[in-house]
Structure 1
Amino acid sequence: MLHGLAHRVVGMFRRLSLLTVTTFVLSTLLVPIASAQPDVPIADPLPTPGASGIGLELTEVAQLPKSQPVPPPTDTRLVRYNRVNYLGEVPDGSGRMFVPDMNGELYLLDGGIQHAFLDLGAAIGPDFHTHRGLGSGFGFAAFHPDFRSNGKFYTVHTETGSALTTKKPDLPSPVDTQVHGVITEWTASDPRADVFAGTHRELLRVGFASYIHGFQEIGFNPAARWWDEDHHLLYIASGDGGIGVSTTVPQDLALPQGKILRIDPAGRDGVNGQYGIPRANPFVRKAGALGEIYAYGMRDPYRFSWDRVTRRMYMGHIGEKAVDAVYEVRKGANLGWSEREGIWEYRRGDPSCGVFPLPADDAKYGYTYPVTGFDHNRLSSQRPCADSGNALMGGFVYRGSKIPALRGKYVYGEGVKGLLYYAEEREMRAGGPMAASRELMVYVNGQLTTMKALVNDPNRVDLRFGQDAAGELYVLAKANGKVWKVTGARTFASCAPGHDVVAGTGSARSWQPVTPALWQFPGREVVLAQPGAARPGPRRPFEYAVLRKGPEFGSVQVDASVRLDTPVGESNRDVIIVFGHRSDTEFYYAHLSSDNKIYPHNGIFVVNNADRLRLDHQWDAVRSVGAAPAVTDTAWHRVRVKQCTDSGEIAVYLDGSPYPLMTAVDKTFASGRVGFGSFDNVGRVRDLRVQGKGIR
């Protein structure tokens, strides 16, 4: 099932090494096998997903009613506009969409008209629990594939109160159970109705040790045919109840917590006679194991989905303190929690709350490792075991027809900050190297924005995803209760640069340096041979030369090869590409550095009669880190800088990558000249080519 340890770890770094961002090819960087690595916590398990240069166009389609948990919660994370957490299409050909609100209501959206289809909270009664625990309340809804004819759909909710003493869980549950997770089957008398009327019955009840990590998503495989083993079978994501951090419950096949379960709602051979246990389940004939288990070793298996083409199942898993990941889930798979977190060892009780290198004998355990993901980028100022404020929201492989740029991409996100990511599905294979994830931009009405700006909440977006029957994608946010449809995709800085071209720029006559004595022009190359010095006026690069050959440019594309001649041992090495130059105190520049940990390094900047101002989206001021270091050696590197003056979009690419290393939006200067230089280092440029709209 799994490849060897060395192949796994080496392959992962081929996809995810920082060198990927800098060279934009799959790196062949080799790392020592697990046993040779220092046995200390891994400080930065995964690199931050780089920019993709792709932006999703979002169109608002609904805002669901405001709602609140009852009684009012003390946890402010539960106090949102509402708690909508999914969108799907009713499988009856009507085009109606359904949206569950964790505070109790199930809504239908029909051509822009909203219907309160089912008040689940009222139907359950006073034991319905919503006010404690992020997963509490009406967790999810799934409609039977034959809903049009049988009227059946399924829900998951939480109960406390008298249920804890008057109702008995059907599967093994903790002695000190704090909350029940309940799966219910509802049968509508008229499947076409906008408001539910009919009957319901309880299928399955399980107890959990805390108010977190209970039942999460439930669903049917939409790709299953009548001859497939999972046709009309219900999958249930069951969290570890919050105790996997200190126990081996997720690894225990006698317990339902920390597993994906698979049951037959039409069967009757389950322990309570209300559901069936599929004979094809992997542990049906294993002594002491629950036949309901499909896969195991999970902490918080929050969302799962199937690729409609490959029919593979992908699951978004929220990690403990270091790594959130996406897994390809196969029958009988053990995802490793709470022995593993991501592709590293997790040690219960370790005060660092970190992850460690895999042991030398890891292969014998047969764990299934993730196919993509991200780490928590914990701040050094945070307590080691404090909540990092990250939560991976599993999504979908896009197989719709409306947005060709997204085809074959698994779109997912980080829920708290509202970041959108994707990985290529063709690279996401269990047992293989991890696929690189990249960040998607967000546009509304043609304007670049962010999910935080859209919901007008700087703290929590509470991002979720949805999908319709045609495979088109939706984005939801609890922060303002809105639903957006992904209606298009655009490439950042995609303007046509124009037809004016300047090349053959090696002559000294083509350049105007700040300090001519520091420069050499041996022919093909332009060399800054001596470092410059700070000059009066605003803080800006010390030394640069402006290209005087040819016209000024509006929208422009600058292509060149650059080299940093300063010794690699110096951490602040840099060269700059100047563009939009109007005067010595009015211009843009792209700073290409071997360091990305301080404000003035490795970014896109503007000088506008004031100290240089950083513009790029990649700079994280809280963590004091930017895009991956652009140049870390003394080799030649190909760089492209593109400026679109109409939109203000600026992108910097390296070594032929289709993915920008840095991006920014600014309209300060609509035209100017280009140049090359450095702050206080030495370097050179060759093969300079400038193409754009000449301003004469």
Structure 2
Amino acid sequence: MTRFRLRWSVPTILALAATLLAVPPATARDDGPIKDPIPDDPAPAGMGVVLEEVAQLPKSEPTPPEMVVDPRLKRHNRINYVGEIPDGSKRLFVPDLNGKLYFLDGKTKEQKVYLNVGETFKPDFFSAMGLGQGFGFTTFHPEFKKNGKFYTVHVEAGEALKTKTPDLTPQPKTAYHGVINEWTASDPSSDTFQGTRRELLRVGFSGRIHGIQQIDFNPNARPGDADYGKLYAAVGDGGNGNVGDNGGDPQNLGVPQGKILRIDPAGNNSANGKYGIPADNPYAGQAGKVGEIYAHGMRDPHRFSWDTQGSKRMFLAHIGEHAIESIHQISSGSNLGWSEREGAFTFKKEDRCFLYPLPADDAKNGYEYPLAAYDHDPPVGHSCTSDSGHAISGGYVYRGGKLPALRGKYLFTDIVDGRLMYTEERDMRRDPTGQKRAQIYQMSAYDTTGKPVTMRQLAGDNRVDLRFGMDAKGEPFLLSKANGKIWRIVGTRNFADCKTQQVQVGNATNPGDWAPVTPSKWQFRNREVILAEAGEQRPGPRRPFEYAVLKKGPVFGSTTIKAQVRLDTPVDVSNRDVIIVFGYKSDTEFYYAHLSSDNTIYPHNGIFAVNNADRLRIDGQWNGDRQVPKGAPPAITDANWHDVQVKHCADTGEIGVYVDGGRKPIMTAVDTTFGSGRVGFGSFDNIGRLRGLNVTGTRAP
């Protein structure tokens, strides 16, 4: 065997050592605060829902009224859910946090007060502080038609704190009780309650928010199933479960706060003997642990639901602290991580402003991270210790039969700003690292005439206080505390769904087909329209420097523009762009879609209007008042050809911009400044080209 001996010189050894020392360690991590936890915003859905108003509930006041100081409680009323009574009567039920349970006739929607919960528990009933205080929720036993049983949760204060004792470990300095009651109607078909009630469970909270949010039964369970007749209760952390005397309660299995509980109203093996603790609960019978707990690690578990088809999973919409609004899958023993985690980020009690990356050894904790989430994107100058104006309200996976475009989508809202959103149930998958999340889409809304509207407009208030409800067949409702109205979703509609086939113009590649701002900068060859020389700023309002208007064909009303475009400016230039002009009336009156590789500044990658003034951004994707401003994802980032479509509906003002055959727009706007005009192509101060132009539309009057 031949042996080789390596001979190393001293300079070689020193050079190798220097090289090795220069290599950064593989485990190096950035553990600093995260300024923008979820950079991706909800994307335009390219569709919307058609809303029909069905009822407005009576005005009501919190109790006691003299204690109300928070303007967010001064609503028309505080209705927070609408559902259908499970007895075949088609009657709807609507609880108002201020105390009353309403029944609505299935056909006429005539309203009747079925039960006055506030009056029943007077003077201890309390709804004057805290956004969720009062008569929080009601649910009906699946056999209500036979047994007349239904369940409510409400809040008590005052003398109740002295005369009544919580059943499970209360928080120190308890100031409020959340109480679950069982009611038995002597005549389930009546529209006015008569019968009996009994208290099941009383939980003590130190804070005025994040009490017992929802109670409900699993609609998938059938007689004989282990889950049939089991009552779930979403119990918040009391408002300060991350700090103070009760810091850490959501992770403490010895207390009920920050948990989802699961109990059997027909049982009696609980400590108070009024309900049962199911033997298949994850901690049933374990010393030092609350056997009622089904899942834990929650701050404000606002709404939960079960998919009634598919995987039949249980989903929870969870309201965050610093930044994260999230949707989770809930199973027996699930731990969402609060208050060690907020969403898929590290929460530090000493930092009231930022979240942090997960530690390298995070997998050992077994936390279950969101299936989908969005962040708050607070505005510039916003105090990180105050409400940023965002909160998720969960809905459900739509499996109804009347709205096929919504089927399989988990519908939810932002309570405050009234955004209507969804994720695809099939895309909602657990990821132990917390990095993979389902895309969230934002829907538009229309009235029954097809006019675009916003929930803020329908509610008559910037704070919408919006929530989903549904009937027995899974058909959706929306309801707002701002004006106490309920709307039924009666249809869906594609965004910018106007007819544009009356007139068609194509093969427009000759110089005579176009009117450029500066003809010498343009070339027309190889069936391409080429902006060969960058434009220069001109006097007048700020607007694109160089473009050419299509002279061929008529002036269009509603228009669909299809073409391929290419940016010829080198890709290392950050602000490279081309524009598509439409609605053109004059050099200072037109719309344009700006297609850019930069989405971080106001003039880039958006939809704009020039109306005898500096260009104004009108698209719905820009959030320039935020601490981390950004718009839609960059439209074009390379030097390749890209398919672009711009659709403009003159009647509704809807504008959608689509790239590379996408079925969903990357940018949308609603604006009625220009109802007709010509189309064009150009740039600010870059070069690029267009080919395959095809314009269809209605001829302007």
Mark yes or no: TM-score above 0.5.
Answer: yes
Q: Which whole-Å CA distance do the structure 2 matches of 1:120 and 1:559 have between them?
A: 59
Q: Name the structure 2 match of 1:429.
A: 429
Residue 633 of structure 1, CA deviation: 3.5
Q: Name the structure 2 match of 1:41.
A: 33
Residue 336 of structure 1, CA deviation: 1.0
- AA in 2 matched with 1:38: D
Q: Which structure is richer in relative contact order (CA contacts within 8 A, separation 6 or more)?
A: 1
1:197-596 matches, within 5 Å, as 197-246=194-243, 247-310=247-310, 311-351=312-352, 353-431=353-431, 433-445=436-448, 446-458=450-462, 460-498=463-501, 500-596=503-599
Secondary structure in structure 2 of the residue aligned to 1:128: coil
Cα 1:662–1:625 change in 2 (3 A) is same
Q: Name the structure 2 match of 1:64.
A: 57
Secondary structure in structure 1 of the residue aligned to 2:118: helix
1:570-649 matches, within 5 Å, as 570-620=573-623, 622-623=625-626, 625-649=630-654
- AA in 1 matched with 2:70: D
- AA in 1 matched with 2:360: A
Q: Name the structure 2 match of 1:178.
A: 175
Q: Name the structure 2 match of 1:15.
A: none
Q: Which whole-Å CA distance do the structure 2 matches of 1:610 and 1:170 have between them?
A: 66
CA contact (8 A) 2:63 2:125 kept: no
- AA in 1 matched with 2:327: V
Cα 1:667–1:126 change in 2 (3 A) is closer
- Is residue 665 of structure 1 aligned with residue 670 of structure 2? yes
Residue 343 of structure 1, CA deviation: 1.2
CA contact (8 A) 2:295 2:331 kept: yes
Q: Name the structure 1 match of 2:692.
A: 687
Cα 1:366–1:495 change in 2 (3 A) is same
Cα 1:385–1:640 change in 2 (3 A) is same
- AA in 2 matched with 1:40: G
Structure 2 gaps of 5+ residues are 1-23
Q: Which whole-Å CA distance do the structure 2 matches of 1:378 and 1:44 have between them?
A: 10
CA contact (8 A) 2:336 2:368 kept: yes
Residue 208 of structure 1, CA deviation: 1.1
CA contact (8 A) 1:498 1:555 kept: no
Q: Which moved more, 1:210-219 or 1:372-381?
A: 372-381
Q: Which whole-Å CA distance do the structure 2 matches of 1:63 and 1:51 have between them?
A: 30
Residue 538 of structure 1, CA deviation: 3.3
Residue 60 of structure 1, CA deviation: 0.8
1:12-51 matches, within 5 Å, as 36-46=28-38, 47-51=40-44
Q: Which whole-Å CA distance do the structure 2 matches of 1:248 and 1:306 have between them?
A: 28
Secondary structure in structure 2 of the residue aligned to 1:355: coil
Q: Which moved more, 1:532-541 or 1:180-189?
A: 532-541
Residue 37 of structure 1, CA deviation: 4.2
- AA in 2 matched with 1:369: Y
Secondary structure in structure 2 of the residue aligned to 1:250: helix
Secondary structure in structure 1 of the residue aligned to 2:151: strand
Deviations 1:417-454 (A, max 9, x none): 11110111111123373110111111113211111111
Deviations 1:239-287 (A, max 9, x none): 1112222222111111111110000000000110000011111111433
- AA in 2 matched with 1:192: S
- AA in 2 matched with 1:331: S
Residue 363 of structure 1, CA deviation: 1.3
Q: Which whole-Å CA distance do the structure 2 matches of 1:514 and 1:666 have between them?
A: 26
Deviations 1:128-185 (A, max 9, x none): 1111111111010011111111111000011111111211111111231111111000
Secondary structure in structure 2 of the residue aligned to 1:212: coil
Q: Which whole-Å CA distance do the structure 2 matches of 1:612 and 1:252 have between them?
A: 55
- AA in 1 matched with 2:133: S
Q: Name the structure 2 match of 1:96.
A: 91
Q: Which moved more, 1:446-455 or 1:407-416?
A: 446-455
1:180-195 matches, within 5 Å, as 180-195=177-192
Secondary structure in structure 2 of the residue aligned to 1:521: strand
- AA in 1 matched with 2:667: M
CA contact (8 A) 2:182 2:200 kept: yes
**Number of equivalences:** 663
Residue 289 of structure 1, CA deviation: 1.6
Q: Name the structure 2 match of 1:674.
A: 679
Q: Which moved more, 1:574-583 or 1:266-275?
A: 574-583
Cα 1:540–1:33 change in 2 (3 A) is farther
Deviations 1:393-437 (A, max 9, x none): 011111111111111111101101111101111111233731101
Q: Which whole-Å CA distance do the structure 1 matches of 2:52 and 2:566 have between them?
A: 44
- AA in 1 matched with 2:451: Q
CA contact (8 A) 1:243 1:249 kept: no
Residue 621 of structure 1, CA deviation: 5.2
Residue 694 of structure 1, CA deviation: 5.2
- AA in 2 matched with 1:657: G
Structure 1 gaps of 5+ residues are 1-31
Q: Which moved more, 1:524-533 or 1:421-430?
A: 524-533
Q: Which whole-Å CA distance do the structure 2 matches of 1:262 and 1:188 have between them?
A: 23
Q: Which whole-Å CA distance do the structure 1 matches of 2:85 and 2:365 have between them?
A: 41
> In structure 2, which of residues 76, 80, 84 is the aligned counterpart of residue 81 of structure 1?
76
CA contact (8 A) 1:34 1:357 kept: no
Q: Name the structure 2 match of 1:107.
A: 102
Q: Which whole-Å CA distance do the structure 2 matches of 1:452 and 1:33 have between them?
A: 52
Q: Which whole-Å CA distance do the structure 2 matches of 1:669 and 1:157 have between them?
A: 52
Q: Which moved more, 1:661-670 or 1:310-319?
A: 661-670
Deviations 1:376-404 (A, max 9, x none): 11123112232212110011111111111
- Is residue 196 of structure 1 aligned with residue 193 of structure 2? yes
Q: Which moved more, 1:481-490 or 1:561-570?
A: 561-570
Q: Name the structure 1 match of 2:154.
A: 157
TM-score by length of 2: 0.91
Deviations 1:524-582 (A, max 9, x none): 43222221112233332110012234444332211122222334444432210012323
Residue 616 of structure 1, CA deviation: 2.1
Residue 74 of structure 1, CA deviation: 0.9
Q: Which whole-Å CA distance do the structure 2 matches of 1:59 and 1:361 have between them?
A: 51
Q: Which whole-Å CA distance do the structure 1 matches of 2:82 and 2:407 have between them?
A: 20
- Is residue 126 of structure 1 aligned with residue 119 of structure 2? no
Q: Which moved more, 1:300-309 or 1:488-497?
A: 488-497
- AA in 2 matched with 1:611: D
Cα 1:554–1:389 change in 2 (3 A) is closer
Secondary structure in structure 2 of the residue aligned to 1:356: coil
Deviations 1:325-363 (A, max 9, x none): 010111111111111111111122224x32211111111
CA contact (8 A) 2:242 2:249 kept: no
Q: Which whole-Å CA distance do the structure 1 matches of 2:652 and 2:203 have between them?
A: 54
- AA in 2 matched with 1:307: D
Q: Which whole-Å CA distance do the structure 1 matches of 2:684 and 2:260 have between them?
A: 56
Secondary structure in structure 2 of the residue aligned to 1:165: helix
Q: CA RMSD in A?
A: 2.1
Cα 1:434–1:227 change in 2 (3 A) is farther
TM-score by length of 1: 0.92
Cα 1:34–1:406 change in 2 (3 A) is farther
Residue 35 of structure 1, CA deviation: 6.1
